[in-house]
Amino acid sequence: MQKRTNNPLLHLLSWLYGCGVGFRNFLFNQGVLKGETYPVPLICVGNITVGGTGKTPHIELIVSLLSPSYRIAIISRGYKRKSHGQRVVTRTSTVSEVGDEPRQLGLKYPHVRIIVDGDRRRAMRHLMSLPEGERPDVVLLDDGFQHRYVHPSFSILLVDAQRELHEDTLLPVGTLREPASARYRADCIVLTKCPSNLQPINLRIMQRNLALYPHQRIFFSRVIYRDPAPLASLVRDSKHTAHDPQHQTLPSGTSVIALAGIASPNPFYDYLERHYKVVSRITFQDHHNFRTKDLEHIRSVWQREQAIVGVDEPVYIISTEKDAVRLFDLKQQLGDELITRIFYLPIATEILYNPEDFKKMIFQAAKALPSGLRPHL
């Protein structure tokens, strides 16, 4: 349930913001502003709310489905990176150069071409200019729902099941980037972060609240947490690897410090509370760029908790996967001792109820061209 505010200034700003967004969408809908089409299937994965809806795990799910059969490229703006212009993500790219989520994707899928560029059209021109043998068969637009200058052949809109659209309002009163009616531009809506015990009656209520058109597909997904992995295992040629038997697993009940710098950390904290003895929490804002003082704070919390627990029982730090990517780039400042005590919690996405239908839909989308380029029957 969204918190309401009675601040008249915020409501005025929300109304003005809505007018601006509505006018921009009107210009696109009338063809005054035009989205460019390209001779390649282009799947957009995005949302219309601020805050985490799980875009990166869903991009990873689509990559895992398609990569055995297709050559894939991903375009991302590289949120909060410090560089400018266009960047191609490589194994040696840093978070400051490309952003944390593209860096995370690049480490997991080195065979996938990832372009970081706030100008999606420029990124598409780069991909289309590649030699035929390197040109992607499918392009994924990460967080591209509002970037209408590139016209996708298939759009997937993610909606947090805990923040349904009909309960939300436009910024700055609520968290909507666009009116909830923007959902009708999507070919598919995925309600994310659903509880694993979601009851059929709740499923039908959420589906009814969206009031979708008959041609729109709807799916439900949930987050799956994997076993914690050592921070050093993010890169294979790291000094400390996942094959080090001393740092392979963390037994249930281990004393840990939970570290999160994501939009919605509570599910992460809840999971750790159920499986480990959480002695402290360290929370940062989403996409937080760690500075020296942050690393010193992390170190001091770890030293404090280790002193309380005692030398006979090691205390570990478990971070989110996105935070681990940022922390790894600072491994020299963290030092070898602390590096061996930091783990991260990998996550994945699971489609509930009908995963085969979702897979079939994605493969169909991987063959579809934008409407303006489809052959007339």
142: three-class secondary structure by DSSP = strand
DSSP annotation of 39 reads: S
Q: What would the DSSP string read from start to end of 13-35?
A: HHHHHHHHHHHHHHHHHTTSS--
What's the CA gap between 152 and 173, in Å, rounded? 30
| Residue 3: closest CA among 163, 196, 131 | 163
- Is residue 94 within 8 A of residue 76, CB to CB? The reply is no
Distance of CA 317 to the CA centre of its chain: 22
Report the binding-site residues.
49-56
What's the CA gap between 352 and 358, in Å, rounded? 10
Instruction: Sort residue 102 into left (φ over 0), alpha (ψ -120 to 50) or beta.
Output: alpha
Which residues have C-beta within 8 Å of that of residue 180, sequence separation ≥ 6?
Answer: 48, 165, 166, 168
The residue with tokens 């191609």 is 88
The residue with tokens 């050559």 is 71
Report the binding-site residues for ATP.
49-56
In three-state form (DSSP H/G/I as H, E/B as E, the rest C), the secondary structure along 270-328 is HHHHHHCEEEEEEECCCCCCCCHHHHHHHHHHHHHHHHHHCCCCCCEEEEEHHHHHHHH
Query: CB-based burial of residue 1 (10 Å sphere; 0-12 exposed, 13-18 middle, 19+ buried)?
Result: exposed
Tokens in use for 33? Answer: 């502003």
Strand (E) positions, 108-181? Answer: 113-116, 138-142, 154-160
Q: What are phi and psi of 72, to 5 degrees?
A: -115, 145
Tokens in use for 302? Answer: 């770890």
| Residue 277: closest CA among 242, 302, 253, 304 | 253
